[in-house]
């Protein structure tokens, strides 16, 4: 999906007892480096961690080839889906830091720009599932550190130019982080469908 709010994420799911996330070395290091937080920031970190788990979990035990397969009528594959969420989270985290200059002017993008952006949704030659997951863990760690250290969650920037944003609207850091949670949850649902279509495996049930 684009950086928009035209769809909503799936309903909240309880994590199954046998679906515990296995953190990568990068994620573990990031967790150790991030300052301890409480209250709202702890809630945001917990929500991010849960939805990231449900996004990653459908890739368990897959080969690189399987991670790149389109298993439904759509264009998505599991590896490409995680690449996309990684790109989205990276872009929004940079938006929190530096404002709309962190993102392109979507109203001015050419067909070539959109085609290049479509590469975020597929596994390209030479890419591996392990590499895709490591990149996601690295971005997640940086976002978690931002949540823990940002001086003010109310700090806001004007949104970048895009057909799906209201002209002149602003989002606070808090609103952006909630959007990342929603986006991740939405695509975690997509990942469930892609994996079940591949070999019948489910995250729940």
Query: Is the pLDDT at 98 greater than 80, yes or no?
Result: yes
pLDDT at 34: 52
Query: Is the pLDDT at 4 greater than 60, yes or no?
Result: no
Poorest-pLDDT segment among 8-17, 104-113, 118-127, 150-159: 8-17
Residue with the bigger pLDDT between 93 and 16: it is 93
Poorest-pLDDT segment among 18-32, 151-165, 172-186: 18-32
pLDDT at 110: 84
Query: Is the pLDDT at 112 greater than 90, yes or no?
Result: no
Residue with the bigger pLDDT between 83 and 204: it is 83
Compute the average pLDDT of residues 140-168.
Answer: 93
The answer to whether 198 and 61 are in contact (CB under 8 A) is: no
DSSP states of 48-74: HHHHHHHHHGGGTT--HHHHT---SSS
Q: Which residues pair with 157 in a beta bridge?
A: 171
Query: Is the pLDDT at 129 greater than 90, yes or no?
Result: yes
Q: pLDDT band for 12, please (50, 70, 90 cuts).
A: very low
* pLDDT tens figures, 57-67: 999 999 999 99
Residue with the bigger pLDDT between 30 and 186: it is 186
* pLDDT tens figures, 167-180: 889 999 999 999 99
Residues in the chain: 205
pLDDT at 47: 98
Per-chain mean pLDDT for the chain: 85
pLDDT at 197: 97
The crossing angle, in degrees rounded to 10, of helices 173-199 and 39-56 is: 20
The crossing angle, in degrees rounded to 10, of helices 39-56 and 78-98 is: 160
């Amino acid at each position: 999906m684009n950086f928009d709010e035209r769809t909503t994420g799936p309903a909240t799911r309880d994590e199954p007892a046998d679906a515990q996330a296995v953190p990568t070395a990068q994620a573990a290091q990031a967790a150790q480096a991030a300052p301890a937080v409480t209250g709202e920031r702890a809630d945001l970190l917990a929500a991010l961690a849960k939805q990231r788990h449900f996004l990653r979990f459908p890739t368990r035990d897959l080969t690189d080839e399987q991670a790149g397969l389109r298993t439904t009528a759509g264009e998505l594959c599991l590896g490409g889906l995680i690449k996309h969420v990684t790109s989205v989270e990276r872009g929004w985290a940079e938006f929190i830091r530096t404002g709309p200059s962190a993102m392109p002017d979507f109203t001015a993008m050419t067909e070539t720009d959109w085609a290049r952006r479509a590469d975020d949704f597929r596994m390209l030659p030479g890419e591996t599932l392990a590499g895709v997951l490591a990149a996601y863990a690295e971005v997640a760690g940086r976002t978690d550190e931002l949540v823990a250290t940002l001086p003010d969650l109310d700090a806001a920037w004007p949104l970048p130019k895009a057909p799906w944003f209201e002209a002149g609207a602003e989002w606070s850091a808090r609103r952006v982080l909630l959007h990342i949670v929603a986006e991740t949850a939405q695509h975690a649902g997509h990942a469930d469908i892609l994996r079940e279509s591949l070999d019948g495996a489910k995250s729940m049930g």
